[in-house]
Amino acid sequence: MSWIDIGAIEDIPLRGSRKVKTKEGCIAVFRTAEDTVFATSNVCPHKGGPLNEGIVHGNKVTCPLHNWVFDLETGEAQGADEGRIQTYAARVENGRILIDASVLGRQAA
Protein backbone atom coordinates (compact mmCIF):
# COMPACT_ATOMS: atom_id res chain seq x y z
CA MET A 1 0.00 0.00 0.00
CA SER A 2 1.01 3.57 -0.60
CA TRP A 3 0.15 5.77 2.39
CA ILE A 4 -0.44 9.52 2.47
CA ASP A 5 -0.26 11.65 5.61
CA ILE A 6 -3.40 13.72 6.09
CA GLY A 7 -2.65 15.27 9.48
CA ALA A 8 -2.19 14.78 13.18
CA ILE A 9 -4.63 12.66 15.16
CA GLU A 10 -5.03 15.63 17.52
CA ASP A 11 -6.54 17.59 14.61
CA ILE A 12 -9.69 15.49 15.06
CA PRO A 13 -11.43 15.62 18.44
CA LEU A 14 -12.32 12.39 20.24
CA ARG A 15 -15.60 11.05 18.78
CA GLY A 16 -15.24 13.57 15.96
CA SER A 17 -14.45 13.75 12.28
CA ARG A 18 -13.03 15.85 9.50
CA LYS A 19 -13.70 16.09 5.79
CA VAL A 20 -10.67 15.55 3.56
CA LYS A 21 -10.72 16.68 -0.07
CA THR A 22 -9.01 14.38 -2.56
CA LYS A 23 -8.73 14.31 -6.36
CA GLU A 24 -11.44 11.66 -6.34
CA GLY A 25 -13.84 13.53 -4.03
CA CYS A 26 -14.33 14.10 -0.32
CA ILE A 27 -13.85 11.46 2.33
CA ALA A 28 -14.69 11.54 6.03
CA VAL A 29 -12.05 10.63 8.60
CA PHE A 30 -13.35 9.64 12.03
CA ARG A 31 -11.63 9.35 15.43
CA THR A 32 -13.26 7.16 18.06
CA ALA A 33 -13.06 7.59 21.84
CA GLU A 34 -10.35 4.88 21.78
CA ASP A 35 -8.20 6.84 19.25
CA THR A 36 -9.00 4.46 16.40
CA VAL A 37 -9.31 6.15 13.01
CA PHE A 38 -11.56 5.20 10.11
CA ALA A 39 -11.96 6.69 6.65
CA THR A 40 -15.15 6.40 4.58
CA SER A 41 -17.00 8.10 1.79
CA ASN A 42 -18.53 11.31 3.10
CA VAL A 43 -22.00 10.90 1.58
CA CYS A 44 -24.86 8.91 3.10
CA PRO A 45 -26.47 6.74 0.38
CA HIS A 46 -29.94 7.47 1.77
CA LYS A 47 -30.30 11.22 1.20
CA GLY A 48 -26.74 12.41 0.60
CA GLY A 49 -26.11 13.61 4.15
CA PRO A 50 -22.57 14.76 5.03
CA LEU A 51 -21.29 11.97 7.27
CA ASN A 52 -18.44 14.11 8.62
CA GLU A 53 -21.16 16.09 10.41
CA GLY A 54 -22.63 12.94 11.97
CA ILE A 55 -22.37 11.62 15.51
CA VAL A 56 -19.54 9.15 16.21
CA HIS A 57 -20.42 6.49 18.80
CA GLY A 58 -18.29 3.43 19.30
CA ASN A 59 -17.17 2.30 15.83
CA LYS A 60 -20.26 3.76 14.17
CA VAL A 61 -21.46 7.07 12.75
CA THR A 62 -25.04 8.35 12.59
CA CYS A 63 -25.98 10.45 9.57
CA PRO A 64 -27.02 13.98 10.60
CA LEU A 65 -30.01 14.08 8.21
CA HIS A 66 -32.10 10.99 8.91
CA ASN A 67 -30.24 9.05 11.63
CA TRP A 68 -29.00 6.18 9.48
CA VAL A 69 -26.21 4.36 11.34
CA PHE A 70 -23.13 2.96 9.60
CA ASP A 71 -20.43 0.63 10.89
CA LEU A 72 -17.12 2.44 10.30
CA GLU A 73 -15.20 -0.83 9.90
CA THR A 74 -17.41 -2.44 7.26
CA GLY A 75 -19.42 0.47 5.86
CA GLU A 76 -22.65 -1.49 6.31
CA ALA A 77 -25.85 0.22 7.44
CA GLN A 78 -27.07 -1.00 10.83
CA GLY A 79 -30.55 -2.00 12.00
CA ALA A 80 -33.43 -1.88 9.54
CA ASP A 81 -31.60 0.46 7.15
CA GLU A 82 -30.11 -0.99 3.98
CA GLY A 83 -27.08 0.46 2.27
CA ARG A 84 -23.36 0.78 2.47
CA ILE A 85 -20.67 3.43 2.44
CA GLN A 86 -17.20 2.97 0.96
CA THR A 87 -14.42 2.42 3.50
CA TYR A 88 -10.72 3.17 3.06
CA ALA A 89 -7.67 1.80 4.86
CA ALA A 90 -6.45 4.20 7.54
CA ARG A 91 -4.01 3.98 10.40
CA VAL A 92 -2.16 6.10 12.95
CA GLU A 93 1.63 6.13 13.00
CA ASN A 94 3.66 8.40 15.29
CA GLY A 95 0.57 10.50 15.95
CA ARG A 96 -0.12 11.05 12.24
CA ILE A 97 -3.16 9.78 10.31
CA LEU A 98 -2.31 7.86 7.15
CA ILE A 99 -4.73 6.83 4.40
CA ASP A 100 -4.08 4.30 1.63
CA ALA A 101 -3.50 6.50 -1.43
CA SER A 102 -3.75 3.61 -3.91
CA VAL A 103 -7.40 3.02 -3.03
CA LEU A 104 -8.22 6.71 -3.41
CA GLY A 105 -6.76 6.68 -6.91
CA ARG A 106 -8.84 3.70 -8.05
CA GLN A 107 -12.28 4.69 -6.80
CA ALA A 108 -14.32 7.83 -6.32
CA ALA A 109 -14.78 8.80 -2.71
- The ranges assigned to domains in the chain are 3-106
- What CATH topology corresponds to 3-106? Rieske Iron-sulfur Protein (2.102.10)
- Using a cut of 0.75, tell me whether the model's pTM lies above it: yes
Confidence of residue 105 (pLDDT cuts 50, 70, 90): low
Residue predicted with more confidence, 25 or 109: 25
**What is the average pLDDT score of the chain?**
91
Confidence of residue 5 (pLDDT cuts 50, 70, 90): very high
Strands 96-100 and 3-8: antiparallel
DSSP 8-state code for residue 9: G
Q: Which strand (E) or helix (H) includes residue 30? A: strand 25-31
Mean pLDDT of 20-45: 93
Q: How many helical (H) and strand (E) elements, i.e. helices and strands, does the chain have?
A: 1, 10
In whole angstroms, give the CA distance from residue 18 to residue 13.
Answer: 9
User: With 80 as the cut, is the pLDDT of residue 85 above it?
Assistant: yes
In whole angstroms, give the CA distance from residue 76 to residue 88.
Answer: 13
Estimate the share of the chain in helix, then strand, then coil, as percent rounded to the nearest 5: 10, 45, 45
